Amino acid sequence: MKNLFSVLLTATTGADASEPTTLYNPLLDENGQFVDASEAVSNIESLWEKWDIVDKLISALPSIIIAVLLVVAGFVLAKLASKIIVKALSKNHVDPSVYNFIKRFVSAGIKFIFLLLAVSMFYDVNSIFVALGGAGLAAGIGLQDSVAQFASGIQILINHPFKTGDFVEVNGVAGSVSDIRFMNTVINTPDNKKIIIPNSHITTNHIINYSAESSRRVDLMFSISYTDDIQVAKNVILDVVKANEKIHKDPEPVVYVNSHESSSICLVTRLWCSGADYWDVYFAMQEDVKIAFDKNGISIPYNQMDVHIINN
Is the model's pLDDT at 4 over the cut of 50?
Answer: no
Is the model's pLDDT at 184 over the cut of 70?
Answer: yes
What are 273-290's pLDDT values in tens digits? 998 899 999 999 999 999
Give the contacts of 171 (CB within 8 A, at least 6 positions apart). Answer: 197, 201, 202, 205
Rounded (5°) CA angle 10-11-14: 55
> End-to-end alpha-carbon separation of the chain, Å?
115
Q: In this structure, are strands 194-198 and 184-188 parallel, antiparallel, or unpaired?
A: antiparallel
Which stretch of 16-25, 212-221, 228-237 has the lowest confidence by average pLDDT?
16-25
Strand ranges for the chain from DSSP E? 167-170, 173-180, 184-188, 194-198, 207-209, 215-224, 254-260, 265-274
Whole-number Å distance between alpha carbons of 265 and 120: 82
Report how far Cα 270 is from the mean position of its chain's Cα atoms.
37
Q: What is the mean pLDDT of residues 17-22?
A: 44
Write down the pLDDT at residue 144. Answer: 61
- What domains lie within the chain, and their CATH numbers? 2-51 (no CATH), 56-142 (1.10.287.1260), 156-209 (2.30.30.60), 216-295 (3.30.70.100)
User: What one-character-per-residue DSSP string does 157-188 give?
Assistant: HHH-S--TT-EEEETTEEEEEEEE-SSEEEEE
Q: Predicted confidence band at 1 (pLDDT cuts at 50, 70, 90)?
A: very low
**Cα distances (Å, whole numbers) of residue 312 to 35, 85, 245, 257:** 128, 91, 62, 41
The 167-170 sheet, strands edge to edge: 194-198, 184-188, 173-180, 167-170, 207-209
Q: In this structure, are strands 215-224 and 194-198 parallel, antiparallel, or unpaired?
A: unpaired
Q: Predicted confidence band at 78 (pLDDT cuts at 50, 70, 90)?
A: confident
Tell me the three state secondary structure of residue 130: helix
What are 141-181's pLDDT values in tens digits? 555 666 677 777 777 777 778 888 889 998 888 999 988 87
Tell me the three state secondary structure of residue 23: coil
Is the model's pLDDT at 264 over the cut of 70?
Answer: yes
Whole-number Å distance between alpha carbons of 306 and 312: 19
More confident residue, 242 or 46: 242
Is the model's pLDDT at 19 over the cut of 60?
Answer: no
The residues that bridge with 265 in the sheet, in sequence order, are 224, 260
pTM of the model: 0.54
Q: Predicted confidence band at 17 (pLDDT cuts at 50, 70, 90)?
A: very low
Write down the pLDDT at residue 20. Answer: 43
Residue 17's nearest CA partner among 46, 42, 51, 45 is 51
Mean pLDDT of all residues belonging to the chain: 79
Give the contacts of 208 (CB within 8 A, at least 6 positions apart). Answer: 168, 169, 170, 174
Which stretch of 4-18, 201-215, 245-259 has the lowest confidence by average pLDDT?
4-18
Q: What is the mean pLDDT of residues 24-34?
A: 66
Residue 30's nearest CA partner among 15, 43, 14, 41 is 43
